[in-house]
Amino acid sequence: MIKKNLCGLTSDELYDLIKPLGFTAANAVSILNNIYKKRISEISQFTKIPFRLINELLNIAESGMFLPVESEISKDGSIKYLFRTESGKEFETVYIPENKRNTVCVSTQSGCRMGCKFCVTARVGFHGNLTAGEIVNQVLAVPQAGKVTHVVFMGMGEPMDNIENVLKACSIFTAEWGLAISARNITVSTVGLMPGVEEFLSKSQCNLTISLYSPFSEERHKAIPVENHYPVMKIMEMVRNFPVKKKRRISIAYVMIKDLNDTDRHLNELKAMLSGSSVRVNLLAYHSTASDQKCSSSPERMHYFKHNLIISGISASVRKSRGADISAACGLLAAGHKLNTPAVPFLSE
């Protein structure tokens, strides 16, 4: 018999599992409290659960929680974790502490099939979607799980290419019976798969970030192949016309590359694209690899972009890079993979 993983279940799904055994919806919530709030991975150690229910669960279920197999710490305090599932899928997660804000950057796929030229993950290839449980476990499994305030879907993979599991993970992160993180503190990033973006906007209250690269379609498709199928101008038109839910943020991630997409021509087109909208621009440094001839725009150029966007009425910020020295920054996940360590079981606190 294949046992059911509890991590990744909603309260309704868990109730459906235990209802035939004579247990209640309140029992289902108690079980999920042990998983999502207490992070207890051994079913036998669950608290405030009827003894008979624990015995029944031991026969039909597993916690579905597991620890990373490796970790690497940056000089800025960020920590990159490597996970490996029992089926062999590998993916990376980053914990980013900053003052009172503690963020976990989660992956949604093992590798990626979008083929974006500026992203190291694309070179790893695609090895499969992550389940909702495998996405949620990335937050539960870091040693600092009790301190996490924000979650960003900006790790390996394209979230809109795994939209069903991403939406389910978002519901678990935000639900009272789940991790109870505010939707305002959860951001999902995409290169612009239009069907997934439309479904996400209609079914989730979490924030959305669109990776732009260039406001010119002919340039963007050279770096982001999906531009050929879903032009960013159509994505932006849909986003601008979509009813904005209260307090949800829609933003553009603009990775700045010297002499490539940081000219005044690009700035003016970016201003024209976003004029009159509430879309925010996050300007990010480009991180080159050993064989890469491109380099990031200077801090002065990035602040020049920020200043000109702001005086044009467009909200903008320069985002500080974190974890670049351990290949944990934007576009670098899976650089220098070390994949020879056996999986480690999850140990409860």
Positions annotated as catalytic residues are 92, 330
Q: Using CA atoms, how far apart are residues 18 and 201, in angstroms rounded to an integer?
A: 32
Show Cβ contacts of residue 11 under 8 Å, excluding neighbours closer than 6 positions.
25, 28, 29, 32, 175, 177
DSSP calls for 246-283: TT--EEEEEEEBTTTT-SHHHHHHHHHHHTTS--EEEE
Show Cβ contacts of residue 253 under 8 Å, excluding neighbours closer than 6 positions.
189, 209, 210, 211, 212, 282, 284, 330
Q: Using CA atoms, how far apart are residues 161 and 115, in angstroms rounded to an integer?
A: 13
For 349, counting Cβ atoms within 10 Å of its Cβ (0-12 exposed, 13-18 middle, 19+ buried), the class is exposed
- Joined tokens for residue 13: 């799904």
State the pairing for strand pair 126-129/186-190. Answer: unpaired
Q: Using CA atoms, how far apart are residues 135 and 192, in angstroms rounded to an integer?
A: 20
